[in-house]
Amino acid sequence: MSTSTGGAIFKTALIALILTLLPLPAWLAILRPEFLVLTVLYWSIQAPFAGGIGLGWFSGLLLDAFQGPVLGEHALAVALVAYLGVHEHQRIRTKPLLQQSLMVFAVLVLYEFVLFAVDGWSGHPLTTPLRWVPTATGALLWPAVAALLSRSYRPRT
C-alpha cells in the first residue's frame, strides 16, 4: 500500500503545485486557496506515516522557490501544518466534514499567521487583510478537496 499511497501523494502534490502557480486573473488569484497546503494536510491526516512532516517541509521549500520572499518561510509553515495533521489525525479524521472544515480553517489561519509573522520579521510586511482570504476559501473548499483526494488512492487499496 505504501508505494501506491506514495505515488498518489506525489501525483496530487504535483497537481496542487501546478494549481498554485497557474497564472490567474488578479481577483481570482486573491481567492485562490493554498492547494498544496490542503493536499499536504489531507495526506498528513489520511496517511500520517507515509508523507508526514518531511513531505510538508519539501512542499513548502518548493513554494519558497517559486514565491517566497525568504527561503524557508513556507517550508516552516507547511511543516507546521503537516505536524498538526499528523499529531491530530485521529481527532480530525473521525469528525464530520463540517467540523473538519472548521479545524482546517484553524490550521490554515495558523499557517497564514506564521507566514505573516515571518514576512514582518524579514522586512517584507504584507499587512493587507486580503492575505487572509485564502484561509477562508481553503476551509470552504476542504470537503471538495478531501473528496477528490480520497478518490486518488482509494480504488487501489
Partner 1 sequence: MAFFGTRGSARNRGGAAGFRFFLYALVSIVLMVLDQRLDWLERIRYGLQAITYPVETALNSPVTAWRWIKSDFAARDALEAENQRLRTRVRDLEIRSLRLEAVEAENAALIGLKKALPPVAERWLPADIVNIQFGGLRQRILVDRGARNGVFRNQVVLDDYGVVGQTMHVGPWSAEVLLITDPDHDLPVQIERTGYRTIAVGTGDPQAIALPYLPANADIRVGDVLVTSGLGGVFPSGYPVARVTHVHPGAVQPLARVQAVPFAHLETDREVTLLWFRQSSPAAPLKENGGQLTSGVPAAQPLPAPKPSTPAPMCTPASGGPAPARPAAPAQLPGAHAAVKPKASSPPGGPRKP
Q: Contact positions toward partner 1, by CB under 8 A?
A: 18, 21-24, 26-27, 29-30, 32, 46-49, 52-54, 56-57, 60, 65-67, 69-73, 75-76, 79-80, 82-83, 86-87, 90, 118, 122-128, 130-131
C-beta closer to partner 1: residue 7 or 54: 54
The C-alpha cell at 95 is 469528525
- Residue 93 or 151: the one with the smaller Cβ distance to partner 1 is 93
Distance of CA 134 to the CA centre of its chain: 11
CB nearer to partner 1: pick between 73 and 138: 73
CB of 99 to partner 1, least distance (A): 19
DSSP for 14-82, please give it. Answer: HHHHHHHHS---HHHHHH---HHHHHHHHHHHHSTTTSHHHHHHHHHHHHHHHH-SSTTHHHHHHHHHH
| Least distance between partner 1 and beta carbon 34 (Å) | 11
At closest approach, how far in Å is the CB of 105 from partner 1? 20
> How many residues are present in the chain?
157
